[in-house]
Structure 1
Amino acid sequence: MATESPYILVLYYSRTGQTAEMATQIARGISKVSGLDARIRTVPPVSPDTEASLPPVPDSGAPYATKADLEHCAGLALGSPTRFGNMASPLKYFLDTTGDLWLSGALAGKPAGAFTSTGSLHGGQETTLLTMMVPLLHHGMVLCGVPYSEKALNETTAGGTPYGPSHWAGTGQPKALSDAEKTICQTFGQRLANLAIKLR
């Protein structure tokens, strides 16, 4: 029986498609490294409604993540739009169900990092990235950012931080990812994959 190829899990929540596009760009960076695949997954929205109101498979876009996707990954890229300087509740809800993985140490020693998108230029990108790292540290993961050796960090006029990729979507019609933002996403994915290989 063939064994599954090692993969980096690119796990995100997106409302308007900007964070989803970042996930695609990060996956492109991962694909530049031989020996690892990119597995893109999302999470469903949550609401105060206590009844299940969504089908188990989304109508479009990436499949919903399972805990097995997370448990068996070689590394993790975690993405969310900002919500008052924090990750969106659907992603936090998913992470809140991973206590058994924390207890078993399933993610300890694996590389991980975060990415985000905001409507306003100073809308909490850095605090969102930093607060997203807290549960990753609790899981014992090794944090990955984007070093300033990536020149796009110094050239961007939109998103991009050393804490992880970011995108400025704007408050009207969402802006497409800039070339610098795409480059930073791909650099992040490639760096995460290279770290995963070194840490395996």
Structure 2
Amino acid sequence: MAKIFVITYSMYGHINAMAESVVKGLKKAGAEVGRYQIAETLSDEVLAKMHAPPKADFPIITPEDLPKADGFIFGFPTRYGGAPAQVRAFFDATGGLWSSKALAGKPAGFFFSTGSQHGGQEATVLTSLPFLAHHGIIYVPFGYAHPSLLDNSEIVGGSAWGAGTVVNGDGSRLPSQKELEIAEAQGESFAQVAKKLAAK
């Protein structure tokens, strides 16, 4: 059984909603799941002005936790086509793991959210791949493994790079049923890959 950490940064809850479906898919495939969140770097005063709700009750991930997992799925919103500062700060703290090659050969995937259909979902993954490459982490794309990724009858986030949701600029749109199903399918698919790698 592969142990997979689902690690998120979610300010308004959209990513955490997607993560629930990712976890469901991982467990369906028999993976052991650890659920973590990335530490907030903004002050309570700033978060209040942004009308951010209280954080979810998940443990804060530390770099020292990462070697305990066989693989990781990271979920976070895009910021100008890249990872938020909080995610970057977390990876900036993993230098010790890099020097010891503690994460080399482990698989990782991404899921994400944007405010619009053209908000940079694929760019967010592309600009996050260096985090993985420098550690020797194996990126696992989702591919077009779910039929809803080819559905043009309505707004559907996600792509071959991973599951995604489009939340509107004001955050008013919640993940759709199709987006949640894609996230679940990604979790299941990722677990199968991680299981094969963990067995070697």
1:96 is displaced (CA, Å) by 0.7
State how 1:117-196 maps to structure 2 within 5 Å.
117-155=113-151, 157-196=155-194
Distance 2:164 2:2 in 1: 26
Q: CA RMSD of the aligned region, Å?
A: 1.9
1:59 is displaced (CA, Å) by 6.2
Report the 3-state secondary structure (helix = DSSP H, G, I; strand = E; otherwise coil) of the residue aligned with 1:86.
coil
**TM-score with structure 1 setting the length:** 0.86
Distance 2:140 2:56 in 1: 30
Aligned residues: 187
| Equivalent residue for 1:37, pick from 29, 32, 35 | 32
**Structure 1 residue runs without a partner (length 5+):** 50-57
Instruction: Please list the CA deviations of residues 101-146 of structure 1 after superposition, one character each: whole Å capped at 9, or x if unmatched.
Output: 1111111111101111111221111101111222112111111121
| Equivalent residue for 2:84, pick from 75, 85, 88 | 88
Instruction: Please list the CA deviations of residues 60-98 of structure 1 after superposition, one character each: whole Å capped at 9, or x if unmatched.
Output: 421111223212111111111111111111111011111
The 8 Å contact of residues 143 and 162 in structure 2, kept in 1 or not, is answered as: no
The 8 Å contact of residues 164 and 179 in structure 2, kept in 1 or not, is answered as: yes
Equivalent AA in structure 2 for residue 61 of structure 1 = D
Give 1 or 2: higher helix fraction.
2
Structure 1: which 4+ aligned runs deviate by more than 4 Å?
none
The 8 Å contact of residues 114 and 132 in structure 1, kept in 2 or not, is answered as: no
Distance 2:57 2:186 in 1: 22
State how 1:98-109 maps to structure 2 within 5 Å.
98-109=94-105
Equivalent AA in structure 2 for residue 161 of structure 1 = S
The 8 Å contact of residues 2 and 191 in structure 2, kept in 1 or not, is answered as: no
Counterpart in the other structure of 1:53:
none
The 8 Å contact of residues 2 and 194 in structure 2, kept in 1 or not, is answered as: no
**TM-score with structure 2 setting the length:** 0.86
The 8 Å contact of residues 166 and 181 in structure 1, kept in 2 or not, is answered as: yes
Counterpart in the other structure of 1:64:
60
